[in-house]
């Protein structure tokens, strides 16, 4: 029953031709960074989606990379495998690492250990309940989000982050609130930005992600970017530039939203 309800929610919250505005002008920002990709933003007030490159946005064959930390942390906290954001794990060659630091600094070994403690069967149950991407773990739980086994679309990522913001996942509200706070990058009187980045080398090129939201004037706008770049590209810097440039183009950071 829970899976059925989750599936219905995903259907009801997904974009359709009736509530999508295609934004072809965003191509200039991908061209400037020598990337190809997609962008999607949801205006919660109007129910409208603003999307560049709809075909790639709906393509469900992308590896989530470190954006999977969102789910890994949610499940870890919900199941008690992560006690709280201060819980430390000893990482070889690094030493003790706190959960919140591992999240912010993308310490992948920390979350591989969290996944091991969660276990394959439990993780599979949660991927099914959350309707996360193709829900495939394969034989290697600790690498499935980096080895192209687990796959997801930008559309699904946008739905995931939207439901996290409104605490609509079948997970304790306190756990979701804790994750929301860890995603915050900048927070001031004018706006709040919160996102998780990720990248992975796939077939000789890098796939990059930015998944999060911007909030201005008490209105929230979840957004997602995914892009392909060269094997040596600084995807962290590119992702931040794409997010800033496109959001400025939309009208954010200028007091007009």
Concatenating the DSSP letter of every residue in 99-118 gives HHHHHHHT-HHHHHHHHHHH
Say if CB 35 and CB 228 are below 8 A apart. yes
Structure token pair of residue 98: 């706190």
pLDDT digits (tens, 9 = 90+) for 52-103: 999 999 999 999 999 999 999 999 999 999 999 999 999 998 999 999 999 9
What would the mean pLDDT of 235-241 be, rounded to a whole number?
Answer: 98
Question: 205-216 and 191-202 as β-strands: parallel, antiparallel, unpaired?
Answer: antiparallel
List, in order, residues 6 or more apart from 87 with CB less than 8 Å away.
Answer: 98, 99
Which pLDDT score, from 0 to 100, does residue 203 have? Answer: 87
Grade residue 37 by pLDDT with cuts at 50, 70 and 90. Answer: very high
Closest to 108 measured CA to CA, from 6, 184, 200, 171? 200
CA angle at 146 for the pair 104 and 115, rounded to the nearest 5°: 65
* Between 241 and 106, the higher pLDDT residue: 241
pLDDT digits (tens, 9 = 90+) for 102-148: 999 999 999 999 999 999 999 999 999 999 999 999 999 999 999 99
- Residue 252 is given by DSSP the state T
CA distances from 163 to 145, 173, 211 (A): 20, 11, 13
**CA-CA-CA-CA dihedral for 152, 34, 54, 43, to nearest 10:** 90
Q: What is the distance of C-alpha 253 from the center of its chain?
A: 22
């Amino acid at each position: 029953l829970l899976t059925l309800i989750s599936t219905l929610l995903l259907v009801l919250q997904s974009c359709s031709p009736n509530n999508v505005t295609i934004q072809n002008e965003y191509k200039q920002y991908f061209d400037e960074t020598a990337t190809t990709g997609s962008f999607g933003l949801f205006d919660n007030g109007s129910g409208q989606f603003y999307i560049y490159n709809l075909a790639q946005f709906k393509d469900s064959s992308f590896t989530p990379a470190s954006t999977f930390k969102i789910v890994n942390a949610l499940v870890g906290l919900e199941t008690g495998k992560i006690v709280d954001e201060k819980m430390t794990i000893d990482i070889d060659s690094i030493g003790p690492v706190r959960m919140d630091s591992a999240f912010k600094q993308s310490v992948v070994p920390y979350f591989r250990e969290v996944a091991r403690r969660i276990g394959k069967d439990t993780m599979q149950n949660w991927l099914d309940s959350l309707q996360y991407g193709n829900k495939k773990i394969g034989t290697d739980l600790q690498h499935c989000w980096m080895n192209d086994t687990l796959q997801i679309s930008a559309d699904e990522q946008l739905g995931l982050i939207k439901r996290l913001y409104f605490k609509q996942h079948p997970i304790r509200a306190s756990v979701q609130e804790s994750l929301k706070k860890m995603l915050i990058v900048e927070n001031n009187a004018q706006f709040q930005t919160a996102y998780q980045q990720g990248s992975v080398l796939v077939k000789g090129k890098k796939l990059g992600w930015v998944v999060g939201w911007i909030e201005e004037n008490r209105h929230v706008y979840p957004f997602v970017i995914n892009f392909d770049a060269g094997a040596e590209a600084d995807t962290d810097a590119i992702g931040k530039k794409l997010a800033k440039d496109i959001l400025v183009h939309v009208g954010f950071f200028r007091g007009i939203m």
